[in-house]
Amino acid sequence: MSHTEEEWKKILTPEQYAVLREKGTERPFSGKYDEFFQPGIYSCAACGAELFSAETKFNSGCGWPAFYAAKAGDRVKLLPDHSLGRSRTEVLCSACGSHLGHVFNDAPQTPTGQRYCINSVSLKFTPA
């Protein structure tokens, strides 16, 4: 899956493009999947690859959808991110390289201790 940035601009809404392709971040507590806990699957809003199961979603209170694991099979790619003077780990879609969010080791209440902090705008939900 590869598109030029010009193609992505036509495929995605301006809001999606800003997050998925320009690594933006939606405002906290603004996303449609923040306080949303229906059973189903979350796919990449850009390419449709299945990324997260609702079974691993938890209420972190951080203002963005949070998952304690990605779906099996290297669906997401992790990269060091030193932007904004901080050391973080960026989460990208393995299939299309679009930006999803960041992962933090600050969720001891979950089975993995990890919090995949993902923008709602980067996801498309399909009910179970």
Site for Fe ion in 36-95 (CB under 5 A): 44, 46-47, 49, 93, 95
Token pair recorded at residue 74: 């290297």
**Residues sharing a CB contact under 8 Å with residue 84, sequence separation 6 or more, in sequence order:** none
Q: How many CB atoms lie within 10 A of CB 122?
A: 29
Sign of the CA dihedral with 7 first, then 52, 63, and 37 last: positive
From residue 32, how far is each of 26, 57, 94 by CA, in Å?
11, 14, 23
Shorter beta-carbon distance to Fe ion: residue 19 or 46: 46
Shorter beta-carbon distance to Fe ion: residue 107 or 117: 117
Q: Check residue 96 for interaction with Fe ion (CB under 5 A).
A: yes
> Which residue of the set 44, 47, 93, 117 is catalytic?
117
Shorter beta-carbon distance to Fe ion: residue 70 or 95: 95
Q: Provide, rounded to whole angstroms, the least separation between the CB of residue 51 and Fe ion.
A: 8
Q: How many residues does the chain have?
A: 128
Beta-strand relationship, 113-118 and 66-67: antiparallel
Q: Provide, rounded to whole angstroms, the least separation between the CB of residue 85 and Fe ion.
A: 28
Q: Provide, rounded to whole angstroms, the least separation between the CB of residue 78 and Fe ion.
A: 15
Tell me, yes or no, if 44 is annotated catalytic. Answer: no
Residues near Fe ion (CB under 5 A) are 44, 46-47, 49, 93, 95-96, 98
Which residues are marked as active site?
117
